[in-house]
Structure 1
């Protein structure tokens, strides 16, 4: 079903703007003047996303969140706020707010945010469709895309804008960045969502079988087993299309040009109705120049281009991703979720992650199984991570310029102080204290996924102190 959006605001002009914008975008919605009206209607309908003002007659926005989440805690809230109550809006994150929308806002951005919230709702509540694919993600029960980094917000915007269209989509990114999850999200939010999603990975197939696997034909059994036939009326996702042989490229071009395909060894084409989504780890434009990829096919695929960022470029998402994967692994193994210490989190955020999100997910599976205690220490990491850590430590240079392997952070601090004193410097606490607080703050915020109240508790500060320190240290 299409998502149902509720807009709650006592300002008639704001309700009018949302009404028109959501109508234009064919998004189902209801308008309410007060929170009490919405709560009454909650008895007959559960919305997928709620857009609400904070200050309203009767039940205010924050109280509304609490009451609605008693019925369904997975309904995302988008809070509309004026500058004067921005602090209240930020605090509303603790009540379960998905995002806040400061006035004045751009209505197109608001609609994009609503689409992202609906996608978030979908990922939380709907089980992943059965994927008939050669490289389906068999160990995942939900096609969930996680991330708050600016790069991932751009990906969410693309999904919101493109999912309802019929145009082909080209996803570019390194292996393990979640390209198939994006393809599934595009399918699951399209008008084809009730139809099959078929995924094939060209790089995992012998080149001589690619044509038969995708298009069927004489000599390889019944052509009804072809991926493109299975995907009829749905979506065909072709992973690593950069590895597709030229002959198969020609057949795919015919699908995009004429809506028909020609099985291998046959003379009569077959009509087909599929949406094509492709992914590549290589730059197709370079392959076109090399003559190994058909230029017409490239230009027909490259109408909408989504770039998946590598994990090293979105390391602020690592705490959130790690927590999710550890919880997921705990459920799969029927055990208590493990918890990464702040030292481990900071260390992981500094890694290069050549295997991207998939590598992080596999690490969390390993730690869930192998670590006996609840808290994961640096020494619990597998050998390849410990080797990287030792390399970093051994190349650490002391104040005096000599390389040595420090025993502890206290020794490193003592070396730093000795160096400053020997250099004749005074008032060194004025330099050291802010840097010490900065490190502690960054580690705590990384550990909690930027949750300020929880970070304050970990550091032994009040919420106001933490907010003041963030401002003083220019960490905003």
Structure 2
């Protein structure tokens, strides 16, 4: 049941409105002055306020101003028997939803009330949706690499500098772009994403710049492009390394001149966008090969960000796993599942060539396919389980089986620490002294490699 607060100094109007609104299924509250109405507002949470303008004490305009201080999003409909255009404009500027003249038309009043409550519901749904999207795009992790990245974002986001984000596929480059936008001065403006690799060459100009009606076969109506849609907001050019040289030249021109023409059009359109670009390619190497324009690279690379691969931030894997478990269990309306220590260790020790995206997909699969509440090693894909027996038989260590030098180094460190810990009866202080590293550093490495200490 929606609650409506009526603030009017005339008792007959208050009683009449309360009777009508109650008959329509609303819960009503009333106050005979602005001061009393503000008191009710501090104790209650009305969905809508009907506010008279001419009242003794503080008038309706001043009451509206104070309402905005208490609850900025409160829906208010103003009422007045002596309304002027100037008063109506002032009330509207202060955020009143509607202005109704007395004597009140019952039909008009109920229509305005229903429309206002519909708007209120849409605003609340929008707020909830934005909060859910923000939660889905949250950057998870407290490790050194991700902590430094968050620190860089907090410094760069409030500025107007263009950003170039580099990193392997699946590391979360879009999350970084969205985080920069969310903490920028353009946060309340559009965030428009373009996947440059997914759009055919013949359509990318129309996608970016829009087209006029009749500009080509199939152009049956005017269509705004991504630059147009992102006006005053942020344009995220994902996989910009896959953009053709021809399109790169046009994008560079827009970035320089801040204006463009639609495909098939002659009218110049001015645009104000902050560009964030991302790529999994080495653009400097692409420049040498002749695949990427050097001038565009330096235009975009004002604020460079590099997103670390998951194998370099293994200390964040347990938190990421817990986050994805809660997210997908909630999405599938299931009780929160947990992992055994052995299963979590297997996830931590895996190299994750697909990075966070691969981890997310694996956790979603486990939530859907594993009927048990406790997920153990037996439930994990075979690729994630260390092949201990095969290694023992062949005499080949995991370090020699690693695909890259970094992975081999990590495997060697892990084997070395396991051996030294075992030799020293799993005593961390004694082991740190023997291998001559700081005890705190040894603790970090044990946690990073997911090594379980034996008692």
Say which SS state the counterpart of residue 279 (structure 1) adopts: strand
What's 2:101 paired with?
none
Work out which of the residue numbers 195, 211, 235 in structure 1 matches 2:189: 195
Change (3 A) 1:395 1:183: same
1:431 aligns with 2:427: no
The runs of 5 or more residues in structure 2 that have no matched partner are 1-41, 44-126, 398-418, 432-442
When the two chains are superposed, the root-mean-square deviation of aligned CA atoms in Å is 3.7
The runs of 5 or more residues in structure 1 that have no matched partner are 1-42, 45-125, 131-137, 404-419, 421-427, 461-476
Change (3 A) 1:139 1:374: farther
Structure 2 CA distance for aligned equivalents of residues 397 and 238 of structure 1? 50
TM-score by length of structure 2 reads 0.58
Work out which of the residue numbers 142, 163, 188 in structure 2 matches 1:169: 163
TM-score by length of structure 1 reads 0.56
Q: How does 1:30-179 map to 2 (within 5 A)?
A: 129=130, 142-179=136-173
List per-residue Cα deviations over 1:193-251 (Å, max 9, x = no partner): 11111111111122221111111223263453311111111111010000011121112
Pairwise CA distance, 1:266: 3.3
What's 2:357 paired with?
358
Pairwise CA distance, 1:267: 3.9
Change (3 A) 1:429 1:197: closer
List per-residue Cα deviations over 1:374-415 (Å, max 9, x = no partner): 2111110124434xx33x5411369xx699xxxxxxxxxxxx
Pairwise CA distance, 1:142: 3.0
Structure 1 CA distance for aligned equivalents of residues 299 and 179 of structure 2? 21
1:394 aligns with 2:390: yes
What's 2:287 paired with?
288
Pairwise CA distance, 1:432: 3.6
Report how many aligned residue pairs link the two structures: 295
CA contact under 8 A between 1:338 and 1:368: conserved in structure 2?
yes
What's 2:206 paired with?
212
List per-residue Cα deviations over 1:120-147 (Å, max 9, x = no partner): xxxxxx86649xxxxxxx9885320011
Structure 2 CA distance for aligned equivalents of residues 431 and 194 of structure 1? 58
CA contact under 8 A between 1:127 and 1:141: conserved in structure 2?
no
Say which SS state the counterpart of residue 139 (structure 2) adopts: coil
Say which SS state the counterpart of residue 395 (structure 1) adopts: helix
Q: How does 1:336-415 map to 2 (within 5 A)?
A: 336-386=335-385, 389-390=386-387, 392-396=388-392
List per-residue Cα deviations over 1:98-135 (Å, max 9, x = no partner): xxxxxxxxxxxxxxxxxxxxxxxxxxxx86649xxxxx
CA contact under 8 A between 2:314 and 2:448: conserved in structure 1?
no
Structure 2 CA distance for aligned equivalents of residues 168 and 336 of structure 1? 43
Structure 2 CA distance for aligned equivalents of residues 177 and 300 of structure 1? 24
List per-residue Cα deviations over 1:441-468 (Å, max 9, x = no partner): 8899579x99xxxx9xx999xxxxxxxx
Structure 2 CA distance for aligned equivalents of residues 374 and 446 of structure 1? 26
Structure 2 CA distance for aligned equivalents of residues 384 and 266 of structure 1? 54
Structure 1 CA distance for aligned equivalents of residues 146 and 300 of structure 2? 22
